[in-house]
C-alpha cells in the first residue's frame, strides 16, 4: 500500500491561520502606493538632473557663513555659506551647505574660517533662464533616479503578484 504525496494548500489550514498568511487589501494597497512613490521620486530626480545638466558654472565667493547642528543621538556640525556670484554684470546671492559634516564644532569652525577668512572661491551652477537659482552641487540625471525606479517597479510588480496569488488561493474577492 503506497501513500500518495500530499500537496500543501492554504485552504486546508484552519481559518485563524489563513488570516495571518493573507496580505489583505490594505497591505497590497500600501505596498502598491510605496511602489508608485518610488516611481514618482525616480521621475522627479531624473527631471531635476536633466534641468540642472544645462546650468552654467560661475565663480562664487563666500559673503557670510554659519554653523548649525544636525542629528539626534549623534550631533554633526554643518558649515553653511551665503555666497555671491556675477552673471553678465549682475550680482546674485545663494546659500549652500558645505560637505562633509564635521564631528566637532572646532573642526566645523576651522572649515568655516578657511572658506570665509581666506576669501576662497568655489564653483556654483546657475540656471541660465533664471540666474537667481543656483546650487553648489549639481545633480546628474541618473544619480538617484535609477535606484528609485528599480525599487518602485519591484514594489508595484510584487503588489500585483501578491494580489494575483491571493486571488488564486482565496478566490476573486478578499472576503472577511
Q: What is the pLDDT of residue 17?
A: 47
Within-domain flag for 11? no
Residues ≥6 apart with Cβ < 8 Å to 34: 152, 155
Q: Do residues 43 and 63 both lie within one domain?
A: no
Residues ≥6 apart with Cβ < 8 Å to 129: none
Residues ≥6 apart with Cβ < 8 Å to 12: none
Q: Which residues pair with 66 in a beta bridge?
A: 80
Q: What is the pLDDT of residue 37?
A: 87
Q: Do residues 95 and 107 both lie within one domain?
A: yes
Q: Do residues 88 and 122 both lie within one domain?
A: yes
The pLDDT tens digits along the chain (176 residues) read: 556 666 766 666 665 544 545 667 787 888 888 888 888 888 888 887 778 888 899 999 988 888 888 887 788 888 888 899 999 999 999 988 877 788 888 888 888 887 776 667 889 999 999 999 998 877 666 556 777 788 888 888 888 888 887 777 666 555 54
Peptide linkage before 100 cis (omega within 30 of 0): yes
The tens digit of pLDDT for each residue in 62-100 reads: 888 888 888 877 888 888 888 999 999 999 999 888 777
Amino acid at each position: 500500500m503506497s501513500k500518495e504525496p500530499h500537496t500543501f494548500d492554504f485552504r486546508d489550514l484552519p481559518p485563524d491561520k489563513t488570516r495571518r498568511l493573507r496580505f489583505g487589501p490594505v497591505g497590497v494597497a500600501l505596498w502598491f502606493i510605496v511602489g508608485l512613490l518610488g516611481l514618482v521620486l525616480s521621475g522627479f530626480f531624473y527631471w531635476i538632473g536633466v534641468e540642472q545638466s544645462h546650468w552654467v558654472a560661475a565663480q562664487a565667493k563666500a559673503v557670510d557663513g554659519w554653523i548649525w547642528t544636525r542629528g539626534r543621538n549623534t550631533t554633526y556640525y554643518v558649515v553653511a555659506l551665503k555666497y555671491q556670484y556675477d552673471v553678465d554684470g549682475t550680482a546674485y546671492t545663494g546659500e549652500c551647505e558645505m560637505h562633509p559634516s564635521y564631528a566637532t564644532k572646532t573642526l566645523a569652525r576651522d572649515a568655516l574660517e578657511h572658506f570665509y577668512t581666506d576669501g576662497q572661491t568655489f564653483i556654483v551652477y546657475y540656471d541660465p533662464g533664471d540666474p537667481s537659482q543656483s546650487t553648489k552641487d549639481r545633480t546628474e540625471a541618473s544619480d538617484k533616479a535609477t535606484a528609485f525606479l528599480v525599487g518602485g517597479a519591484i514594489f508595484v510588480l510584487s503588489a500585483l503578484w501578491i494580489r494575483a496569488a491571493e486571488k488564486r488561493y482565496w478566490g476573486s474577492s478578499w472576503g472577511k
